[in-house]
Every structure is written in structure tokens, then in C-alpha cells.
Structure 1
Amino acid sequence: MIWIRFRITTLEDLHVGEGINKAGLYDDGAIKDAKGNPAISSETFKGLLRQSLLELCGQAEGSQKKEWRGYYRMLFTFSGQNSPDITVDVDTNTLGEENYIIHTFTAIDDKSRTAAKGSLRSIECVKKGVCFDGCLSYNSHDKNSKSLRSFLEDGLCNITWLGSYRRRGLGSVKIDILPEAEPPVPKFVSGSDKPTGKVALLLRLKDDTTIAGAGEQGNHFLTLDHIPGTSVLGMLRVAVGAACPENLDLLGGGCRVENLYPVPEAVDVLERSREEWVVPYVCPVPMSARSRKVSDMYKNVRKDRPHWCFKPEGLDRLETLLSCDKSSDDKTDDSASKSFAGGYIVYCGENNWRFHKPSQNLKLRNAIDSRTQKTEKNSLLTQDSLEKGNRFLGVISFDDSENAVRFIKALELVANRIRYLHVGRGSKPVEIARCCHISAKIDPPRQSHKGGFILTCVSDVIIRDAKLGFSRSLDPRLLDEILGLPAGTLVLKKEFSSTRIIHAYHGLAGVRRFPAQAISKGSVFVFGCENPEDLPEKLAKLEEHGLGERSNEGYGRVVVNLDLLQNNAGKTKVVTYNPEPSPLAQQHEELHKKKDEIIRELEAIKTDEAKGVKTVCLRLFQMMQRGIDPQLMRSWLIKGTSKDTTKKYFEGIVPVFDKYLGEDRKYKEAFSLALKEYGNKKEKR
């Protein structure tokens, strides 16, 4: 495997645009990561590398030209599976308090040679001096890997510009190749001392990734918020086939894969003892669950501070968000609640419930005309992406525990030889963060539902009706037959469900599968029955084996009598806010402290009527808003003290004015805020 580390140093301000404006600030913002730090899209950088290598091929001569063109075709095939993986991260040591700068430009009218009307444009740029560290990895099967490595290094060093507005002096960069080093390999823990045939797989996205569940809708690409079992099987087969093809039989009929669902950074495989390793229980939020409204959660928040000064606490706790569960609670009024609109519940045991949604972003993209190198007309499209760093957890089950041992060893070879798995549009790299034997999953709390049971779909369910068509709901008669119950035993009392179309591609055969209609994950069905004695045993088997078709690909997983209300309902916790520890928030806090201090001094002015002082304060505030010189304002105050009718109002304000708006005017903004607030303050009756 070829592993190249490099460093990008910005010599001028850099603009890699995200295509989204911020009203009143700029027309095109810079790409940022989840923490708001500068970022460079790996897609953008890979495109520049491709262009750079093509330029080198054009400059080469003789046998070298033939060799380099062969390398170029090998690196950038349309399959994408054999293209280099590139990750670029900002060096936080080169960041300062202010890392962005706004540049403004205009277009020149050819006739008048002045700025064209309506052409003013502002863009957000990364300040020069910020550095980025990058890694390029490539699974090379070529005997001349040293020559290929040299070709890639020359291509990297040939890149001297990044981003847009290069003709206006932006985007100049320098790329240095760092000393060779062995690529870091994830350390796999063995997990449970007694393999049970169950393997926990935890993956981390190394780039923004779009996992398409369907084709393009208009000019917009949607992304799934999880990694489907079909995609998991596909990427494992490709990786294992490339690293150790003798182990491909592991991913056949004796292997059952779950959907990989997103989990927070703090969630991982849990070690209870040497023999007992467990994974948290993760499932979609049931459609019957209702969330508390924002107005109910966000109480006692200071209204005189902007929202960006504070950070919420408790929004990842189910007890903070959950209002009621309509599948088992008919009495609670849900008019004061709303839908969760997606998301996942993570149960870590001991009443530790978490709510999690994977972070996403929106990208604007367009097609480039290869002849003119300009944007094609009507080619703009938008694309949802899961942000880099999102983690996904699931379980892979094998019929034989020995196969589970072989599978972990095969993934160790994948991590050593190939480094990454690949998933989504463009085959984005995915890191194996954890792979180990587990003994079981943490079992979530169950409720005792008298006179029936509640069935929640943990994954999409593909099931056919009596006419072999795809069912849009769970027919009680069909479920009677599946569970082996007498006809008419079950009665559907409530239903909270939806459906979606499943699109898939058969990687082994190389053809698209026919679309299938499925009952969406999170759907809830409440059945009534007389509770036969063997019903719990039959429902347990249904949970274990799944419901409907393609259960080995993650479809058809269900849970019975999930109890969300245990230790969650009826809580009165309120989202609390603490000051955000940032320089901007600290400046804002100091500004308002000084404002409150000035108001106290204005309130201390001794006069018979405070209304007159407030009128003078409002007049001063209006003058400051108009930009009148402070010397003129002071002259107006002195003139007011010379009149007997207004002297008592003006003479107390003069020393406060001189203190905060005299020679040292660093408190000008605080003084202005104090004048406005005190002038509009109503007297208590």
C-alpha cells in the first residue's frame, strides 16, 4: 500500500466555497468542518490532483509518458474502487482567534469602465497562514510501486493553487511531502474470550458521504442517515475480496448483517467482564413517540443574550425530549407535543437513554464542460451528505463461531493492506474503528402489555401479502400465519407507520434489483389478542429471525413491547444553558456587564423626576446612532445645564458621559446600549 503524508501551506487567502450565503455578511461562505474550522473537500482536492497528474503526463516524453499515462488510467477509473483515498484536516496549531476574512469584488462595465450595477459580491475566505495536513493512500498491486509513488508525489507538489478567484490573488498554496512513515493500523481487541458467532462492527466516516437510497429527485440527491445492511455486505465483499479472497465464503448464506445505525462519540462496545462484551441497543425513534415542544423545553433562558452565546445541555437525553408514547398512552394530550422527525434511540443500560441524530450538511455541485472548463448550463444540483466523523454501529452474526474468528482476522488483513472500506456515492473511505467478539446486545426495557403486544420495526420490513404483492401494513391474518396462531387470533388496534421504496444493486451479478416496497423503520403496530401461553416464545423467535424477506441483509428486524416511558416520561427537566467558552461570547458577556454598570450609575442620578433623565438618555442615543461627533453631544449637554428648567436633568449625566465617552472611547458600544435600555425602562408601579 502506498501511504503519502503531505502538508498544505496557504500563501494567500483561500476560498473553497460551499455555495451558501449568509444574509448581510457574505454571498458565498467557505467550507467548514463540524467544529466551524476551515476545511478542504477531499473531492475538490482529488479533482485538482487528477488535473495536476494529467498536466505531468502532457509534459512527459518517450517511455516516461507511456508509463505515466498508464498510471493515470489506473488511478482514476470510473469504478472508483481503485482510486486513491485522500483525507485533508486543518492543523489546529495554525489557527487563531479569527481565521476568516471577507473579500468584496465588483465587475467592471466595459463601456463606462466603472463598477457594473448590482455586481458587488462578498466572499468568505480562510486567512493566509492556515495549514492543512493530508494523507493519500492507495492499494497498489503494481510491481513498480516506487515509480507510482514518485508520480503521485510529483503531482501533489505540482498543485500551486486551490479554490476560486485565483485571478484576483486568492488561493496560492505550497505543498510539501512529509517524511515517510508507516500508516497507523487500528488495534483490534478480541472482545469476549468465548466467541459466540456475533461480531460488533463500529465504523467511522473519513469524508463527507452520501448514501443514496434512491436516484436523483429533480436536482437534489438525498442521503440515508444509516448504512444499510446491503451496503455493508457489498463493501465487505469488495474489501475482503481484494485483501484475502480465500475468505469470501464467510459473507455467504451463513452470515447475517444488520443495518449500521449512527451512535454518539461516547458510545462504544462495553466490557462487563472478560467473557461478557455487549453492545448498546440502537433503534430508530418509534413513530408513536412524541417530543416536547421547544417552548416547553427552553425555559428560564436569558432573553437579553443572543443564542450563539450559549450552548444547550440535555438535548441528547431521551428524558428531556420525550413527551409521551401514543402506542401505550392514550390519556396524555399530545397537542403540546410534536413528532421527533427521525433520529435514533441508544440504550446503554442502567436507564441510560440517549437520543442521537447524525450530523449532515448540504453541498452545491455543478457539472463542468470538459471543452470550455466552465460550468454547464442548468447543471447546478444539491446533495445531502453525512458529515465526516460520524460513527455507525451494528452486529454481524455467523452460524459458526469459528467463522466469526476468521472474519475478524480477515478484517485485520483489510486494515493492513487496504486501510479503508468504501461506501456511498464516489466510494468514500470508511475507517474500521472497532471489530470484536460480543456475547450479546443490551436488552432494552420491556413493558407488560395486557391483552396483546406492541411490535416496533427496528429496520425496514419487506413482506408480501396473500396475493404476493408488497404489503403496506402488517395484516393480522398474515401475522397469525407467521406465528402459527389460529386464524383470527390477532386484531390490529393501532398503527403508526409509513412505507418507502427500496432501491438496490446486486453487486455479484452486476445488475439492479427490482424496487421493493417496504414498511419503514420506526413503524409501530399494536395488536390485541387473548395472549396464548406460547405467544412470548413465538415472539422471541420472531425477534431473533426477523420478519419478511432479505433478513440476512438487515431487513425485517423487530422488537416487541419496547418501553420508552420507563424512567423517561413525566420528567420536568428543562434544557439549561451555559456560556459558550469562546472569545466572542466572552466579549459579549463583558459588554453587557459594563452596560449594566453604566445603567446603575444613571439610576443613581439624584433628581425629582427620573423621566426627564430618561428623555435626555434617549436623545443622546439617537445622536450616537446618527454618528454625531461626541464633542457636539457634550456641547449640547453643557448647554442644557445652563438652563434652570433642564439643569437638574443634564448636570447628572455630564460626568457619566465624560467617563465613558470622553477621551477613552472603548466603552462607546456599552454606553450606547445603556442609554437605550435605561431610556426605555418603565417605572415599577
Structure 2
Amino acid sequence: MPERIWLNVTMTLLSDAIFGAGYSIPGGEDIAVCKNEQGLPYLKGSTLKGLLRESVENLVEWTGLSASLPKELFGAEDWEGVTDERRILFSSLQLLHAPKDPQECYQNRVFTALEQGTVKNGTLRMAACIRAGLVFGGRVCCAKEDEELVRQAFAGIKWLGTLRSRGFGRVDFRLESTESTQSQKSALHAKCLRYRLRTILPVMVPNLSKSHGNSSETRGYLPGSVVRGMVLSQLAQQQPEWFEQNRRVLLSDEMRFLNAEPTGAPGVLPAIMSFYDDKTDNGEVGNKVVSVLNNDVMGSKRASLGSNCSLNGDTVYYWSSRTSSAMRLNQRAADSKDGKALFQVRYLEQGQNFEGYIVLPEPSFAEAISEVLQGRVWIGADRYQGFGECEVEELEAVDQPDWVQQYGYRQQNEIGTTLYLLLMSPTAMRDDWGENRGLDLEQLKEQLGLENLEILACSTSIAVFGGYNRMWKCRTEWERMYDRGCIFKLDCKGESPKLEALQRIQAQGLGIRRGEGYGQVLFLRPELFEAIRKRAPLERTNDTEQQSQQQLVRRAKYQWIMDQSQTLYKNGFSKSQGGMLQALCEKAKRQHGDCTELNAHLEKNLTARGPAFRKRYMHVDALVRSVLNAPLSETLSLAAVPDSMEERLQLLIMLFDHSRKAVQE
């Protein structure tokens, strides 16, 4: 395996720059810059990769180097790229020595286009520029043999970002080499390992069943298949003889990589689907829940429990992993003008912990696994474009997963004739003919050692799961499965299964693709499940959670603006009239929420200017008054929204500004 080194990258802005985010800010900039959760500018790893690749391609053209070099260092497009030790890994470039106020990093600039020496109509645009003099830092990892080439390629990058032709984006790069971290031996010896990963960079785990067109969704957890691919790939490269010797077992269902779930409370479970909101006498939805497995929930709505939960007494506590989205640009598609250059990706944010388990066929395998599952690792999609870097914070030997110990049957528990089967991961079983049966009661009955078995009730959801085989360069077969969190109430017909049978099924899993983390199940103790009467969000008060809430509020505002702008200019209401309302809202905001002039203007057009004006203003008047008179949480359908009259007026200002530009364009 080639020796690899880390290069610390420092980038200094020699002029103002614009790292385009791919979208505009309603009521603000027409060209927005990339900002992290703290509102500070940063350069995406994918952008850095594209710049460096272009520089390497220029070096190949000018110096006569091998034409295959860019592909070897950066991979091929689409699905053709394969994991290779020579490929370069990138982090994003984050701001060093950040100011206390993020706004100190920016200044607004205004641009127009000229036509025959005069300003072209409709071309006035505003952009937020990153101030010259700021310094950004990050890292790249490359093979030691490519260090000099990488240094030359970085030296060739002089400009980046948007509006380079107008003098923006002049930069200077400096590189400093550091030694790569060497693996350390571990003395682990166990049949089950628990690991904890912390995301250093954003991680992309595409949810192919929910992705479409130019949009890519992410899963809220790390599938076992993602960790499996990383570990087995590293074993094949670092310990090739041992890997070949144990290849059959490593690639079989005897070695199982369970999903890594976002940490929260002890005993992390996927969100259980059976809980529905229990409405009060006046029909309102509170924090009380009932289970569809044991109650009539006609007319009720399934309770929102995020992506994960835990059970404690009579309460189910719930939470979700933090996700964000970004706009990406496929430069080659943009050059070909095929209409698919701009696309949106959603990813797991950095700074989160995920905990998972690896079930081993032999305790001796633990030492080999521990040699590759330590330090910094890279997982998920686009890990060569500034995504996927994680740190292994913990790796320890355990007897079994925590959720088995906390919620499963123990030696002292009495096993009744009614079982609650919870799917910890997507699950599907096949019959003797190879047909997908979902949950095959005949096989399950046989494994439980029972004469009869029946499903009394269930709460389920079905999704499709696939993948991609990089060796064969093709997609794997799509499988319809019961999703994680599905739960079944089983009747054993007067016969109680043995504890050993339950534990064996929990240890081995059910159905297909168990080595990739599918088919993991838990027999939930009835007294824990049936005691649940209410739900509550898990309390998280750290800064990162507050930043995540701010992102939710921002997205809710943008979605509301997009929805309302579709119907704002109807019945003859014009953009100039919208501009007048925007000006009155801005004046009211400057006067600390005094809406006297705004209300008078609306009243005049409704009552004193005739039927035509009344018709134009009826919809707008109702919209403005509903925003001003209702809490923002009600307007945006989102809890915990900062609220004041100034905030409500700002929402209206953003709406009128965005809708007028949309109409103009």
C-alpha cells in the first residue's frame, strides 16, 4: 500500500471573493456565499477538488505527463471511479481566527450589466462578498509519491469563486506536510464490538429511494453497509493475506455490521411506528400517545418521533440526527448545457456522534478489525470531495448491543405468549422459492420453536433498498423491505418460546443481507412498551443544537415565501404595489413595529378607491394581517421560532422582495 501523507493547506484571500452557494437570499443577496452553521464563510471540499483537478489537467497538457493522471488522482465521473490508495482526499477550507461577529467577514456589493453603454433593464444584483485578507485552512491527503505534483498544482491556482473576471477571488495557497497517523496494535478479543464515530466533515449517505431528479436525500443514520465497505476495503489493502484467508467468512452473513445510530439517551432505538397522537377532549394534539397495536386510533395521526427514540417509564423520548443541504454544480454538465448542472444534496452535519456494533464470527477477528477501525476514517459518498471524514472515538468489546440489555428479555424475565417484535433495521425474508415474503411466519415459527404463530396487529412502512457494487460497476438488486421502526404484535397461541430462541434470533438476525446490517430485530419486553403514555423531545441545549434550530427556522421561512409568492400577484395586484407595501413594512420595522401607515394604506385601498382596488388588495390584505396578528410559529408551522413584530415585518419584506424579482424575471 503506498505511503500517504497529510498536507495542511492555508489559503489567503488577496482580494474580495465570492464562494457561491448556488442560491439567493430573499430580501437580501442575489448571490449568496457558502456559510457554515456559525454563519462563517468556507470553501467546499468539492470546489477545492475541482480547482485542483483543473490545475493538474493543465500541468498534464503543458508538461507531457501521463493523460491518465487526473483520473488516477481524482477518479472518473459518475459511477466509474473506484476506491484507490492514490486518490486524493479533501477537507473543506474553514476560516481561521474567526471574528466574534460573522458579519465582519462580509460586505455587500452591487452589480449591473451594460447594454450599448447604458444599464441593462432588470440586471441590478446584490452579492455578499468575503473580505480580502481572511485566511482559511484545511487538509488534503495524498500518496507521498504525488506530493510534489500536488504542490505544483496548488501553486497554479490563482483565482477561484464567482465573478473572477471582475477581479474577485484572487488567492494564495501555502502547503505544509505532516506525517500520517500510524496504526497501533490493539488486544481486543470478543465476538461483539461497539464503536463510536464522530463526524469531522459532513457525511453523505444517499437515500436512493427518496432521491430524484437533481436532488439527493440522505439517511439519518450510518447504515451497516457503509461501515462494512470501509472496514473490508481497508482490511483488503492493509492485510491482504489475512483478508484472502478469511474472505468467505468476511463477506458472509456470519460477520454482521449493524447500523450506527445518532447517540442521545442510553439504549438508542429507531423511531417506533406504532405510537399515535392521543387527542384531548377538545380535539387538540398534546404530548399523549397511544399504541395502534393495543388501541383504536381511528382519526388520529401517527406521532412524530424523529428518527430515533428511547423508552423511559411512561415516556418515549425522541430525537433526530442533524442534516443540512447544499447546492452543487457539475461544471462539465454546465458546459454541455443539458439542464442538469445544478443539483441539491442533503448530508449529515459534522460534529455528531454515531454508535454502532459489529458482530464477529470469531473473537480472533476483533484484533484485525481494531487495526483498521481507529483514528480518522472516511465513509459515505463523495468522500474524495470534502465529505465523509470521521474519527473513531471509541472501540470496545461488549457482550451484546446496549438496546438488547436495556429492552430485551433477560434470564429473570417471564416470557409470555404475546411478543412484540421491533425491527431495528430494514428487514425482508425469502421463502423456499426465493420470493420476498416480508416477514415469513413459517420460518419465524420454526426458529422460535413454536407450533403456531399469528400476527395480531402491526404498524409498518415499506421502502426499497439497493446499493452499488464498485467492483462490477453496477447497481445491486433493489429489495422491498419493512423499514426500521416497524413493530409486530405476535400471538404464540398459548405457548411461550424459550429465552435461548429469542436471543439466537436477536444475535443472528432475520432474512436477507444480514451482513450489511439488515434484518436486525429486538423482542421488546411488553411491560416497557405497554407503559408508554406520552412523548417528549430529548433535551439538547448545546450550541450546535441551537444552530440546527436556526437552520430549521431559515428553511421554514424560505419555504413559506416560495409558497406564498405563487399566489401573491393575482386579481391585478402589481409588482409596483408590492414594492409600496415592502417600503411601508420596512418603515414600520425601523419604527420598532409601528404599523399605523401600513394599516392605513391597506384600509384606503380596500374601502376608498373603488371595487377594482378592493379586488386587488383583498388577498394581500388578508395575508399581511394574518402574518402580523399570528405568532410566527403558527405562520411557519414550526415550534420555537423567535417572534416579535419586527420579525413578522421582516418576513413580509422578504416575501415582497423575492416575489417582485421572480415576477420581473
Question: What is the TM-score normalised by the length of structure 1?
Answer: 0.67
Question: More deviation in 570-579 or 382-391?
Answer: 570-579
Partners of 1:578 and 1:235 in 2: how far apart? 31
Contact 1:198–1:395 (8 Å) recurs in 2? yes
Match of 2:395, SS state, is: strand
The verdict on how the C-alpha distance between 1:139 and 1:108 changes in structure 2, with shifts beyond 3 A counting, is: closer
* Identity in percent: 20
Match of 2:190, SS state, is: coil
Match of 1:177, SS state, is: strand
Which ranges of structure 2 fall in alignment gaps of 5 or more residues? 551-590, 600-644, 650-665
In structure 2, the partner of 1:101 is 106
Contact 1:457–1:559 (8 Å) recurs in 2? yes
Letter in structure 2 aligned against 1:108: A
Contact 2:319–2:538 (8 Å) recurs in 1? no
Contact 1:226–1:259 (8 Å) recurs in 2? no
In structure 2, the partner of 1:383 is 345
Q: CA deviation at 1:522?
A: 0.9
Match of 2:427, SS state, is: coil
In structure 1, the partner of 2:389 is 430
In structure 1, the partner of 2:131 is 127
The verdict on how the C-alpha distance between 1:239 and 1:576 changes in structure 2, with shifts beyond 3 A counting, is: closer
In structure 2, the partner of 1:17 is 20
In structure 2, the partner of 1:263 is 262
The verdict on how the C-alpha distance between 1:287 and 1:28 changes in structure 2, with shifts beyond 3 A counting, is: farther
Q: Deviations over 1:390-426 (max 9, x none)?
A: 43321112122112123213446xx5xxx53343245
Q: CA deviation at 1:45?
A: 0.5
Partners of 2:316 and 2:185 in 1: how far apart? 27
Once the two structures are superposed, the pairs formed by residues 393-542 of structure 1 within 5 Å of their partners are 393-411=355-373, 420-425=377-382, 428-433=387-392, 434-442=394-402, 443-445=405-407, 451-465=417-431, 468-472=434-438, 474=439, 476-477=441-442, 479-486=444-451, 489-507=452-470, 511-542=474-505
Partners of 1:39 and 1:449 in 2: how far apart? 56
Match of 2:437, SS state, is: coil
In structure 2, the partner of 1:44 is 47
Match of 1:423, SS state, is: coil
Contact 2:5–2:179 (8 Å) recurs in 1? no
Once the two structures are superposed, the pairs formed by residues 163-174 of structure 1 within 5 Å of their partners are 163-174=161-172
In structure 2, the partner of 1:240 is 235
Contact 1:422–1:429 (8 Å) recurs in 2? yes
Partners of 2:132 and 2:597 in 1: how far apart? 36
In structure 2, the partner of 1:253 is 252
Contact 2:51–2:157 (8 Å) recurs in 1? yes
Q: CA deviation at 1:291?
A: 6.6
The verdict on how the C-alpha distance between 1:514 and 1:34 changes in structure 2, with shifts beyond 3 A counting, is: same
Partners of 1:382 and 1:432 in 2: how far apart? 26
Matched length: 530
Partners of 1:323 and 1:392 in 2: how far apart? 29
Contact 1:199–1:437 (8 Å) recurs in 2? yes
The verdict on how the C-alpha distance between 1:51 and 1:564 changes in structure 2, with shifts beyond 3 A counting, is: farther
Contact 2:315–2:534 (8 Å) recurs in 1? no
Once the two structures are superposed, the pairs formed by residues 583-662 of structure 1 within 5 Å of their partners are none
Structure 1 position 222 matched with structure 2 position 217: yes
Q: Deviations over 1:254-292 (max 9, x none)?
A: 75223332324x78xxxxxxxxxxxx5333111113479
In structure 2, the partner of 1:182 is 179
The verdict on how the C-alpha distance between 1:431 and 1:247 changes in structure 2, with shifts beyond 3 A counting, is: farther
Contact 1:95–1:130 (8 Å) recurs in 2? no
Contact 1:261–1:283 (8 Å) recurs in 2? no
The verdict on how the C-alpha distance between 1:551 and 1:625 changes in structure 2, with shifts beyond 3 A counting, is: closer
The verdict on how the C-alpha distance between 1:208 and 1:572 changes in structure 2, with shifts beyond 3 A counting, is: closer
Q: CA deviation at 1:50?
A: 0.9
Structure 1 position 110 matched with structure 2 position 115: yes
The verdict on how the C-alpha distance between 1:621 and 1:134 changes in structure 2, with shifts beyond 3 A counting, is: closer
Match of 1:25, SS state, is: coil
Question: More deviation in 102-111 or 228-237?
Answer: 102-111
Q: CA deviation at 1:523?
A: 0.7
Contact 2:231–2:372 (8 Å) recurs in 1? no
Structure 1 position 281 matched with structure 2 position 238: no
In structure 2, the partner of 1:588 is none
Cα RMSD of the aligned pairs, angstroms, is: 4.2
Contact 1:202–1:392 (8 Å) recurs in 2? yes
Q: CA deviation at 1:623?
A: 9.6
Structure 1 position 345 matched with structure 2 position 309: yes
The verdict on how the C-alpha distance between 1:43 and 1:263 changes in structure 2, with shifts beyond 3 A counting, is: same
Equivalent in 275, 291, 310 of residue 326 of structure 1: 291
Contact 1:459–1:555 (8 Å) recurs in 2? yes
Structure 1 position 196 matched with structure 2 position 196: no
Contact 2:214–2:340 (8 Å) recurs in 1? no
In structure 2, the partner of 1:75 is 73
Partners of 2:256 and 2:9 in 1: how far apart? 37
Partners of 2:535 and 2:462 in 1: how far apart? 32
Partners of 2:425 and 2:399 in 1: how far apart? 22
Contact 2:197–2:353 (8 Å) recurs in 1? yes
Q: Deviations over 1:594-617 (max 9, x none)?
A: xxxxxxxxxxxxxxxxxxxxxxxx
Q: CA deviation at 1:346?
A: 5.6
Which ranges of structure 1 fall in alignment gaps of 5 or more residues? 268-279, 300-320, 586-617, 627-671, 677-685
Partners of 1:137 and 1:254 in 2: how far apart? 33
Match of 1:440, SS state, is: coil
Partners of 1:76 and 1:128 in 2: how far apart? 30
Question: What is the TM-score normalised by the length of structure 2?
Answer: 0.69
Partners of 2:159 and 2:287 in 1: how far apart? 50
Q: Deviations over 1:274-326 (max 9, x none)?
A: xxxxxx53331111134799xx9xx9xxxxxxxxxxxxxxxxxxxxx964251
In structure 1, the partner of 2:515 is 552
The verdict on how the C-alpha distance between 1:260 and 1:161 changes in structure 2, with shifts beyond 3 A counting, is: farther
Contact 1:188–1:436 (8 Å) recurs in 2? no
Partners of 1:241 and 1:2 in 2: how far apart? 20
In structure 2, the partner of 1:66 is 65
Q: CA deviation at 1:456?
A: 0.9
In structure 2, the partner of 1:679 is none
